[in-house]
Amino acid sequence: MLLEKISQNLTTVISEVLETMFFVFLEPRSGPLPLSEDFIGAQVVIKGSDFAYELKFLAQSRLLQQIAADFLGLDQETASLAQCQDVLKEIGNMVSGNLVNICDPEARLELGIPTVSGDHLTAASLDDCVEKFIYASDEGVLLVGINSSGTDGK
Amino acid sequence: MAYNILVVDDSMSMRAIIKKVIGMSGFDVGEIAEAGNGLEALAKLEDFWADVVLTDIHMPEMDGIELLKKIKGDPLSAAIPVVMITTESRDEVVSGALAMGAAGYIKKPFRPEDIKALLVEILGGEDDAAGEDQSESDDGDF
| Domain boundaries defined on chain A | 2-150
* Average pLDDT estimate for B30-45: 96
Alpha carbons A8 and A15: distance in angstroms, whole number: 13
Q: Which residue from B134, B119, B94, B132 is spatially nearest to B7, judged by alpha carbons?
A: B119
pLDDT at B95 over 70: yes
**What's the pLDDT score for residue A41?**
96
What fold, for A2-150? Chemotaxis protein chec (3.40.1550)
**B40 near B13, Cβ under 8 Å?**
no
**What's the pLDDT score for residue B125?**
64
Confidence of residue A154 (pLDDT cuts 50, 70, 90): very low
Across the interface, do A71 and B88 touch by the CB < 8 Å criterion?
no
* Average pLDDT estimate for B116-125: 84
pLDDT at B40 over 80: yes
A116: which residues sit within 8 A by CB, 6+ positions away?
Answer: A40, A41, A42, A85, A88, A89
pLDDT at B141 over 50: no
Q: Which residue from A102, A111, A92 is spatially nearest to A46, judged by alpha carbons?
A: A111
Q: What percent of chain B has pLDDT over 90?
A: 60
The four Cα atoms B76, B39, B31, B103 give a dihedral, to 10 degrees, of -60
pLDDT tens for each residue of B43-92? 999 999 999 999 999 999 999 999 999 999 999 999 999 999 989 888 88
A79 CB neighbours in chain B (<8 A) are none
Among A40, A111, A115, A116, the residue to mutate for chain B (most B Cβ within 10 A): A111
pLDDT at A32 over 90: no
Listing DSSP states for A79-143 in one string gives --HHHHHHHHHHHHHHHHHHHHHHH-TT--SEEPPPEEEEEEE-GGGGTT-SEEEEEEETTEEEE
Q: What angle do CA B97, B98, B99 make, to 5 degrees?
A: 90
* Average pLDDT estimate for A33-52: 90
A144 by DSSP, 3-state: which?
A: strand
The verdict on B100 touching A (C-beta cutoff 8 Å) is no
* Average pLDDT estimate for A76-94: 91
**B9 near B55, Cβ under 8 Å?**
yes
- What pTM did the predictor assign? 0.87
Confidence of residue A135 (pLDDT cuts 50, 70, 90): very high
pLDDT tens for each residue of A45-56? 999 888 899 999
- Per the DSSP assignment, residues forming a β-bridge with A39 are A60, A121
**What's the pLDDT score for residue B109?**
92
Tell me which DSSP letter residue A76 carries.
G
Across the interface, do A104 and B90 touch by the CB < 8 Å criterion?
yes
Handedness of CA B119, B120, B123, B126 (dihedral sign): positive
The verdict on A54 touching B (C-beta cutoff 8 Å) is no
Instruction: Give CA B126 to chain center in angstroms.
Output: 17
**A55 near A43, Cβ under 8 Å?**
yes
Alpha carbons B37 and B76: distance in angstroms, whole number: 20
Closest chain A residue by Cα to residue B37: A113
* Average pLDDT estimate for B6-32: 89
ipTM score assigned to the predicted complex: 0.84
A60 by DSSP, 3-state: which?
A: strand
Confidence of residue A152 (pLDDT cuts 50, 70, 90): low
